[in-house]
Amino acid sequence: MKRVFGVKKDKEPPPSIQDASDRINKRGDNVEEKLKKLDTELSRYKEQIKKTRPGPAQEAIKARAMRILKQKRMYEGQRDMLYNQTFNLDQVAFASEGLKDAQQTMSALKSANKELKGMMKTVNIQDIDNLQDEMMDMMDVSNEIQETLGRSYNVPDYIDEEELMGELDALEADMGSEADGIPSYLQPDKEEPDLDTEFNLPAAPTGNTTAQGEDEHGLPTVPRASLRS
């Protein structure tokens, strides 16, 4: 049966836009090479026409140049047609790539939307508000604690005007004493009154009297006159 009907061949995949564009560009390059060769021949015929006298020889050269020029016009038309095809393929490729990008973007957006919906189910805006309120309350309490711990002990909150003026006068006096070159804490104290003179008190006994009335054992000494008698 296979010999009679043959084997079914697998269909080749259709060429992609890039394959078609590459093939057309290759054909365009070949046409460009042919045009360069024709331009070279036309330049040579132009020089020959200038050097040849008018007559049959010059007419023959002109005929060959005319044939080359017709070929050039034909190849230029093919080149323009190939360029137009390449331009159309580029537009189709750009549109195709744009659609593929749009499909990928839509798929990514759908996936992100689904993920966001799942995450939003676990987040409650009321819980966030309550958490913010609790944090603000805790910060207020923390500030109150810091202010309480930062208080100074034994420092009066109120000082009257008389006390202030007294402190300023004392400070001014200390500054005046220090201006003389001697700090206030090194200056001698004022002479204190003699209490003995003020109250007419008797003078305190000295240690010599006690030493003359006692011997080395602490007993009272006997006068020498009494020993002789």
Class (C level, CATH) for 15-121: mainly alpha
Among candidates 148, 35, 16, which has minimal Cα distance to 92?
16
- Say yes or no to pLDDT of 226 above 50: no
**Lowest-pLDDT range, 9-18, 47-56, 116-125, 192-201?**
192-201
- Report phi then psi at 220, rounded to 5: -65, 140
What pLDDT sits at residue 222?
59
Residue 5: how many other CB atoms lie within 10 Å:
7
- CA torsion angle for 15, 21, 25, 28 (degrees, to 10)? 90
Q: Is residue 86 a contact partner of residue 24, using CB atoms and an 8 Å limit?
A: yes
Tell me the pLDDT tens digit for each residue of 82-141.
889 888 888 888 898 899 999 999 999 999 999 988 888 888 888 889 999 999 999 999
For residue 220, the cross-strand partners are: 214
- Which tokens go with 54? 């008018």
Average pLDDT over residues 204-222: 57
Q: What is d(CA 178, CA 175) in angstroms, rounded to the nearest whole number?
A: 5
Q: What is d(CA 62, CA 48) in angstroms, rounded to the nearest whole number?
A: 9
Q: What is d(CA 71, CA 31) in angstroms, rounded to the nearest whole number?
A: 11
pTM: 0.41
Residue 86: how many other CB atoms lie within 10 Å:
18
Q: Is residue 68 a contact partner of residue 41, using CB atoms and an 8 Å limit?
A: yes
Question: What percent of the chain is modeled with pLDDT above 70?
Answer: 68
What pLDDT sits at residue 7?
58
